């Protein structure tokens, strides 16, 4: 039986060499605090490309300086960011990996300025200031910021763009009724609350022809928040709007909410969205065992396996998985003696 974990997957004009994805994880490694690529990023990402991760998705990269989670975040709000990103992309591709970037804005969870913004003036916790509610003009400016970021991502040579609409950051803040109390065309109904996301997708699609992913939190873990049924309906519309894959995560919108985690705890959310919205999905969340990853793919519960902390522990997880599953994979030539 062919192991699906090591089968290629073609999305639009891009063929991923296998189904193993490095999930976007913030590194907080920009020592210069100007959002530019540092030596750390070359070491961190290229080692996973050497390790034969098929698709490497960069951390949340901010479309505005004010939208950073911290001052140490990567940025893509200025043309000066392109040079470093382009070099990083080229070096990852040297080892066969496809590359993506996650475009993000933290909204009320940003920490670089006291003048943080959100759909509504509701603070995340007592540790955060109360955000200013965005005006229509400011919303338009942010949509344009995402578009300009997509142009820069294209110039840098990325294969895929992912829009970060999860984990309680700005787009998720618009989507969830827990954080969006607006009474204009961006509030009150799910159609209105998702308007900001669809405006961003349209703006990005006007300048980007390649694969487009959206990361969502498929449940807010709150009875008054969104759940997977809401996201199935949303995913159907996202597909029509030109989104190619839903990266299915969960939570992050409200502080102090406890929920049980265990290996694969988010996979049922991905499975439901895939089957009921008929769209490709990525599964993420404490997937560490190759046999578990293969089961998810063989049973068509997801199309890609997103690995986060496991790849922090082991940049050569694809080699480990291949040995476990009895698959031969091509090694980097300098490593042949160790990988045979």
pLDDT digits (tens, 9 = 90+) for 188-217: 999 999 999 999 999 999 999 999 999 999
- At 114 the pLDDT is 82
pLDDT in tens, 30-48: 988 899 999 999 999 999 9
Helices (H), the chain: 39-50, 82-93, 136-156, 170-175, 190-193, 195-205, 228-241, 267-277, 290-298, 309-313, 317-325, 336-339
Closest listed residue to residue 16, CA positions, set 88, 96, 103, 101: 96
- Mean pLDDT (the chain, rounded): 96
Query: Which tokens in the block code for residue 158?
Result: 């990325």
Task: Supply angle C-alpha 61, 67, 68, rounded to 5.
Answer: 55
> Dihedrals φ, ψ of 314, to 5°?
-145, 95
- At 257 the pLDDT is 84
* Contact yes or no for 17/5 (Cβ under 8 A): no
- pLDDT at position 324 over 90: yes
CA 8 to chain centre: 20
* Contact yes or no for 136/143 (Cβ under 8 A): no
- pLDDT at position 1 over 70: no
Express the helix, strand and coil content of the chain in percent, nearest 5 each. 40, 15, 45
What number is the average pLDDT over the span 82-104? 98
CA–CA distance, 201 with 14 (Å, rounded to integer)? 19
pLDDT in tens, 281-297: 999 999 999 999 999 99
* Band of residue 2 on the pLDDT scale cut at 50, 70, 90: confident
Beta bridge partners of 75: 62
CA–CA distance, 138 with 151 (Å, rounded to integer)? 20
Percent of the chain with pLDDT over 90: 94
- At 284 the pLDDT is 98
- pLDDT at position 244 over 90: yes
- pLDDT at position 4 over 90: yes
């Amino acid at each position: 039986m062919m192991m699906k974990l090591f089968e290629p997957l073609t999305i639009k004009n891009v063929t991923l060499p296998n189904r193993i994805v490095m999930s976007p994880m913030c590194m907080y490694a920009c020592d210069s605090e100007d959002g530019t690529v540092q030596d750390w990023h070359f070491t961190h990402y290229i080692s996973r490309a050497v390790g034969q991760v098929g698709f490497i998705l960069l951390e949340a990269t901010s479309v505005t300086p004010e939208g950073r989670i911290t001052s140490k975040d990567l940025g893509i709000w200025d043309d000066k960011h392109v040079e470093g990103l382009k070099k990083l992309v080229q070096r990852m591709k040297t080892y066969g990996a496809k590359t993506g970037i996650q475009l993000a804005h933290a909204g009320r969870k940003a920490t670089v300025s006291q003048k943080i913004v959100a759909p509504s003036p509701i603070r995340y916790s007592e540790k955060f200031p109360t955000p200013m509610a965005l005006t229509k003009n400011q919303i338009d400016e942010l949509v344009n910021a995402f578009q300009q970021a997509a142009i820069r991502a294209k110039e840098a040579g990325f294969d895929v763009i992912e829009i970060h609409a999860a984990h309680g950051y700005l787009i998720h803040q618009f989507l969830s009724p827990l954080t969006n109390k607006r009474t204009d065309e961006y509030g009150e109904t799910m159609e209105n609350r998702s308007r900001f996301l669809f405006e961003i997708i349209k703006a990005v699609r006007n300048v980007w022809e390649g694969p487009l992913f959206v990361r969502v939190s498929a449940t807010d873990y709150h009875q008054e928040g969104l759940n997977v049924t809401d996201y199935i309906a949303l995913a159907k519309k996202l597909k029509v709007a030109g989104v190619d894959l839903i990266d299915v995560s969960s939570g992050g919108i409200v502080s102090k909410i406890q929920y049980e985690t265990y290996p694969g705890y988010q996979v049922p959310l991905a499975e439901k969205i895939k089957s009921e919205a008929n769209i490709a999905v990525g599964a993420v969340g404490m997937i560490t065992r190759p046999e578990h990853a293969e089961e998810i793919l063989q049973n068509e519960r997801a199309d890609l396996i997103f690995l986060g902390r496991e790849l922090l522990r082991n940049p050569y997880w694809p080699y480990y998985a291949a040995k476990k599953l009895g698959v031969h994979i091509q090694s980097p030539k300098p490593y042949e003696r160790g990988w045979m």
